[in-house]
Structures are given as C-alpha cells and as structure tokens.
Chain A
Amino acid sequence: MSSDLFDQDVSTDVRALLQHDEVGSAPAAPNSFARHSSGSGAPALVCALVGICLVRLVTTGHYKRYVRVGMGPILMISGFVLILAGAVTWWSSRRGPSDSHEHEHGRYHGHEHDDDGHGRIAVGWLLLVPVLTVFAIAPPGLGSFALSRALSSTSVQQGSGSFADLTGADPVGMLLKEFDERAFDRAGVSFAGVPVSVVGFVAKAPHGDGFIVARFQIACCAADGRANLAHVIGYTGTVPPVDSWVQITGSFHAGAGPQQAPLLVAATVTPIAQPSDPYEPN
C-alpha cells in the first residue's frame, strides 16, 4: 500500500478539482479547503450536506439497505447535529470578518501547512463521494454477487435451536433463517409436511437444477452480511431473473443441495417488490 495515497494524492486531486476556487485567493497556501474554513462556507456546506444525506436516508427508509433498522434514530440525530454544526460555523464565518479573529485563522492555517499537513482538511471533500453515490446511484443492497463472495453460504450452524412441529394445511410464513434452522434441527422433522412461504432474492444455483433463493442478515451494516438460503427445486415455470425478489410457497425436502443448502420444493413463485428492509433480523 503506497503511503502517498493518504495525503499527497488526495490533496493534489482535490486541489485540481478546486482550481476555480483558487482564482483571486492568496497564492501562498495550497490547502484551499483549510483556508476556506475561515473565510468561506465550503466546509460548513460539506458538513451540512452529509447531515442532509443522513436525514434523507432515514425519511425515505433507504438506510435499511445499508445498515440495520435500529440505527434509524441515531442516524437522524447525527444528521441534525451535522446540519446544525454546519449552520453555526457558516453563520460565525459570515459574522464580523474584519476582527482579529480572521488574522488568527490565517496564522493557524499557515502553521498547519508548515508541518506536512498538505491536504489535511482538503480530504474532507471526499465526504461528498458517498453523498453523491447515495443520491445519484442509490445502491440496491446486497444481492447475488455478494452471495458469491461470502465466506460461508449459510449462517446456520448445527444445533442453533429446537423447534416445535408445524401444524395445519396453510403455508406458514417464515424467514429463510428459520427455514434453515428447522432444516438443521433433527434433519427437518419439525416441518411435518406443512407447506411454508419464504421471501428472498433469486440467485443462480452453483450447479445442478433449480435456483437459489437467499436473503442476507446483517449485524451492523451491509459489510458484515451473512446469507440465509435455500435451494429451490421442482419448479416448472419460468425462473425470475437473478436478483429479483420473490415469494415462494413450497415444502421442505429432506437432503441437501450443493453447499449444504436445504432443499425447497416450490409450488408457486410470485415476483414481489424488494422489501423496504431487504435483510433478516440478526
């Protein structure tokens, strides 16, 4: 890993980006962001934009694609704190620019530049990258690609629980996690032949017939996703495209497909919209 990556390259790129800001500024300081933190509202704006992005993610519910549902309130609070911090510093930079305050700022940042601090605050501009990614691309959440990268194909371990037998004739809705756990509990005896209904996204089976239906569970954020999955067999209709969401009714079938995924014999496969929380609770 190049050590230069951290300071030098970033500041060079950012400086190039900010070239137009340099016009009419004092030529000495290469660190425009730092200098601007006294005279202009640029850093305050970045702060506030990150805050607005967080609040927007919570109000649209899209934050659930990236982090666990319980983080909504603290994301909201963090967003407002950042908006407030941006507003206060912006206001104080507008107020009384002619007093000795300004002079102190100049001295401080000159000093900062003296110690190897190139691009130290300029790096703050990078915060706009995730903000733009959220607004422009709106990444969809973990899907079949992540499944192919995951360490283990299922998060379920032997002995993760013991279940009472299912009863009745109507399909019982359950999380894929429970489906997997029941499959591992006494080799699936607790299904007792009762049909089930599960929700997940479609993925290709590594080999063999059928397809995979999977849904991730996350502990904190999408970087720590672990998949729960079932191998769907016996479906004669058209298989929906990879990464589309489906609700499947069917019944458990003893035995295991490739990679130990439990088998689900599908009766119906219904395309649905991606759930607002695409993950199963941990």
Chain B
Amino acid sequence: MAASAFELLAVGVGGHPALANWATVFVAVCIQAMPFLVLGVLVSGSIAAFLPPDAVANMLPKRPVFAVPVAAIAGVALPGCECGSVPIAGRLISRGAPSAAALTFLLAAPAVNPVVLVATAVAFPGHPEMVLARFVAGLVASIAVGWIWIRIGHEDWLLKARRPAHQHDNRLDAFTHTVQHDFLQAGGYLVIGAAMSATLQTIVPQRILGSVASLGWISLLALGLLAVVLAVCSEADAFIAAGLSQFSLTSRLVFMTVGPMVDVKLIALQAGTFGRSFTLRFAPVTFVVCVLAATAVGLVLL
C-alpha cells in the first residue's frame, strides 16, 4: 500500500511541473550542502573531542575588539560554504570562545575563503577588481557585525549554544556523538531552509526583478533580498551574479556579500544552532551591515 501511495505521489508530481520543479530545487539544495555539512560537523566533532576546553580562547587575543578581526582572517582558512561554518561556530561557542569572535568567523568563513574567491575570479573574467571588492566587503561586514555584537549583544541570546558539551569517557565516543548530533541538528534545519528556498524560487518569478535594475539604491536592496531568497551556495553565487548583467557591479557585489551571511537556509540553520531570539536580531542586523559595507566598498573599488 505504501508503494502504491508513493507511485500516486510520483505520478502526481510528474504531472505538475511546479511541484516537480519544487522537488528538484529542494533535493538539489539539500544534496549540494551535504558534503560541506559533513566537513563542518567533522571539524566541530574534532573541536569537541580533541581541543582542550580553553584552547580556542587562548589562541585568540584576550580583548574581544582584537579577537574579532583575527577570527575574520581565520575564516580564510576554511574552504567550505556557509552550511559547514554554522556547526563549527556553534561548537566554538560551546567550547568557550568569545561569542563575538565566533560569530565573525561564522560570517567570514563562507565569504572570503580561497575557493569562493577563485570562483568569483572565474565568474568575472573581465573584472579582477571584483575579487578584491568581494574579499574586502566580506571582511568589513563580518568584522563590523562582530564589533556591533560586542556593543549590543547579550549572552542570554546564545544560551542554546552555550550549553555545556556532553562528557564522554573516551574521545572517539565524544567525536562520533558530536558528529552525529551536529549533523542531525544542522541537517534538519537545512531541510527547512531548502524547502523555503525551493518554495520561493517556484512561486516568485525572478523576472520581476529586472524592472528595478536601473533604479539606483532600490536595485541594491533588490539584489540583497534576492540573495536571501535564493539561498545558493557561496561557491556558486558569483556565477549567478555574473549573469545579472542588467545590474550594476555594486548591486552584484551586494548580492555576493549578503548571500554567504544571510539567506533563508542560513536563518533556519542559525535558529536551530543558536536559538530563535538570537537569529531574529542577528539576521536583520547582518543584512543591513552587508548592504552598507558592499555599497561603500563598491563606491571605492568598482
């Protein structure tokens, strides 16, 4: 009976192009994120099992104001995309890293790592300055959000991530349990984010965006919002930006700066890892900072 129900479902979906399209995009976003999520939880498992509790805090400058830029630079070393950096940042916080530094790392890692920069260079063959602009805008935005967090952030909003780690008798147990725990947690929220992205992509015709391409600051906001809605991987967004040729380079820089830091998939992942009260404040602030940083960098460099 279950089998025939599935067949009915399959026929039903096949007969509805919108549903088939939804299912394709939904599965694509999930599958595409899996390797990066697995890499992320392997790193977060290693942090939980093999790093002494104070190691991260000791590696960073004592004053958070200086720890934030160091964390942003450290983001260059993680060759992944945004799905992997969420569980890592969550685990860093649970191991006692300063929250501002961990959050800056969360934002910087998917935006400024070498893989993303190379992809940007390939996507914009005629505009090498785009690579520099993306790197600078990503660093500036992630550091600015870290400093804003130092001023106005409340540790209460991060209770979910501060929860002490599970004590295991041996390190292998601690490692595999953390890997599994973080994978299921982040993966579940990733599924929610993928469903939202697929729904928006299926419902909203992107063509309506074309009408605002020449409208100055409105086009900046429009591409910022497009990045939130599309939720594509930071390693692929440069190729989309390259195709948006009716928009200015600065608008497209906004698209590539917002994308790795705020999108529906990330909002779901962050809500799952850090809690709702955190994400409701963090995502809008990050969005505004990204738009401002990318616009400023665009005015200077592009």
Contact = CB atoms under 8 A, between A and B. Distances in A.
B154 interface: no
Interface in B215-240: 230-233, 235-240
B24 A222 contact: yes
Interface stretch (B97-105, B163-171, B289-297): B163-171
Nearest to A108: B166
A74 B35 contact: yes
Given A82-B183, A139-B13, A139-B23, A149 B201 contact: yes
Contacts of B34: 50, 54, 75, 78
A25 interface: no
Contacts of A104: 166-167
A223 B201 contact: yes
Given A54-B31, A143-B17, A224-B239, A116 B275 contact: yes
A89 B177 contact: yes
Contact of B42 (A66, A81, A136, A282): A81
B163 A219 contact: no
Interface string B3-34: 00010011001100110110111111111101
Contact of B243 (A43, A117, A151, A222): A151
B24 A112 contact: no
B187 A66 contact: no
Contacts of A74: 35
Contact of B9 (A108, A137, A145): A137
A89 B123 CA distance: 42
10 contacts: A104-B167, A123-B188, A126-B187, A137-B13, A137-B23, A139-B27, A140-B14, A143-B20, A220-B32, A220-B232
Given A82-B38, A127-B187, A140-B14, A224 B159 contact: no
Please provide the 10 A-B residue pairs with the shortest distance between their CB atoms, ordered closest to farther.
Answer: A124-B184, A220-B236, A123-B188, A219-B239, A222-B28, A221-B32, A145-B17, A139-B23, A151-B206, A66-B28
Contacts of A137: 6, 9-10, 13, 23
Interface string A33-72: 1000100000110110010001001000001011100010
B128 interface: no
A81 B38 contact: yes
Which of B30, B235, B280 gathers the greatest number of chain A CB atoms within 10 Å? B30
Contact of A115 (B30, B119, B159, B246): B159
A7 interface: yes
B197 interface: yes
B276 A6 contact: yes
Which of B21, B119, B160 gathers the greatest number of chain A CB atoms within 10 Å? B21
A205 interface: no
B180 A85 contact: yes
Contacts of B202: 145, 149
B184 A43 contact: yes
Interface residues of A, number: 80
A219 B236 contact: yes
A88 interface: yes
A67 B276 contact: no
Contact of B237 (A5, A88, A125, A224): A224
B210 A67 contact: no
Contacts of B237: 224
Contacts of B194: 130
Given A6-B268, A129-B191, A221-B31, A151 B17 contact: no
A3 B280 contact: yes
B73 interface: no
Given A220-B232, A222-B28, 5 more contacts: A1-B267, A3-B271, A89-B176, A126-B187, A224-B237
